[in-house]
Homo-oligomer: A and B are copies of this chain.
């Protein structure tokens, strides 16, 4: 038999999903801090709009870019929530989740041999998409508190660099850019004639009064930025697979072509749900959700510090990425494997997010207080069993 795609053969199954599979086998008392989804599901007011569309048999092809009413709401959202005053419906496109939005960015921006830069650790797809599109992903290790190393990013730019990819707040670290950091990234993009891909799916989840900054709201950035977002995290709708993009019209036109020939658009009825969702995002009571996540965040930091992990307070999203105490002499892969086997607690090893983070674990704390408490107790037991505490 002839050989299959090398790029795909070489790519690994996600460590998150693998962990999830292991956990499934380990019985009902397993605790997952693994999967990156909120602990709530999509609200009835959104689901009802999908149901209405189904009852009205809106089940034939939608336009490849998404239905016009949805694209209008998306444009309105970017203008009003993200200060991107330039966005018109022509600057938007609807995608099969944030994942396809990302794929479209890689597909449309790059030619084989190009380079991209990101601050590592970062979301797993960022790396694999680089392989799939035949481009080089240049990882610049983040600083100790997971803030981006701006100087390092600057030094990584070559004539082949096509774009910088940012994700603030970040999966897996929970770090969020300061205004100064965003200013510096934007300045690099402008100075070196680059594009900027800004993955903003966690934009609603900030702590301590920090607010979201969209780089596409900066002067001179409207034609250089691809802004990605999705219903998934804001609305607890990871399984509805609806994402969206703002970018220059030229980029959108080319994304539309790619969508036509690769997925032929997004589930039609769900687009009616997205309209209602985005129109009435206030009904989600985000401040309440954040208050709860904040409590969980504080709890995690306290418990992790008690157990001698090395950890900073995350600024956003619902992840925390503690570093293992070097005295333990274990790396993230070993720790994660042993922990799931001995204590049935799943945390993703940091190696799942890049080349410089196998000294850490990612914990998704969007779960019940009971599970958090029990999970951390088991981690403590795990450490005590080894006389690490």
- The docked-state distance in angstroms from the alpha carbon of A236 to that of B268 is 13
Nearest CB to that of A260 among chain B residues?
Answer: B14
CB distance from A210 to the nearest CB of B (A): 27
Counting CB contacts under 8 A, is A54 at the interface? Answer: yes
- Encode A31-50 as 1/0 by CB contact (under 8 A) with B: 00001010001100001001
Pairwise interchain contact A6-B99, C-beta atoms closer than 8 A: no
Counting CB contacts under 8 A, is A257 at the interface? Answer: yes
Pairwise interchain contact B17-A263, C-beta atoms closer than 8 A: no
Pick the interface stretch among A56-64, A144-152, A168-176, A343-351.
Answer: A56-64
- The docked-state distance in angstroms from the alpha carbon of A15 to that of B359 is 53
Interface size on A, residues (CB 8 A): 79
Counting CB contacts under 8 A, is A254 at the interface? Answer: yes
Among A112, A193, A194, A239, residue most surrounded by chain B Cβ atoms (within 10 Å): A239
Pairwise interchain contact A264-B8, C-beta atoms closer than 8 A: no
Pairwise interchain contact B8-A258, C-beta atoms closer than 8 A: yes
Lowest 3 A-B CB distances belong to which pairs? A239-B268, A99-B264, A128-B261
- Encode A95-108 as 1/0 by CB contact (under 8 A) with B: 01111100100011
Pairwise interchain contact B254-A64, C-beta atoms closer than 8 A: no
- Encode A110-133 as 1/0 by CB contact (under 8 A) with B: 111000000000001100110010
Counting CB contacts under 8 A, is A208 at the interface? Answer: no
Chain B residues with CB under 8 Å of A256's CB are 13
Nearest CB to that of A262 among chain B residues?
Answer: B103
Counting CB contacts under 8 A, is A266 at the interface? Answer: yes
Chain B residues with CB under 8 Å of A236's CB are 59-60
